[in-house]
Amino acid sequence: MAGYQAVVDFSGTATFKVDNSYAPGDVNGDGSVNSSDETLLRVLVKPRSRPATTDELRAGDLNGNGLLEYRYLILLKRILAGLPVNIRP
Residues that bind Ca ion (CB under 5 A): 26, 28, 30, 37
Q: Quick one: which of 56, 58, 70, 65 has its CA closest to 87?
A: 65
Rounded CA gap, 69 and 47, in Å?
10
Residue type, 81: A
CB of 28 to Ca ion, least distance (A): 4
CB of 76 to Ca ion, least distance (A): 10
Cβ closest to Ca ion, residue 1 vs residue 7: 1
Cβ closest to Ca ion, residue 30 vs residue 65: 30
How big is the chain by its Cα radius of gyration, in Å?
A: 16
Cβ closest to Ca ion, residue 36 vs residue 89: 36
CB of 82 to Ca ion, least distance (A): 16
Please provide residue 9's backbone torsions phi and psi, each rounded to the nearest 5 degrees.
-125, 110
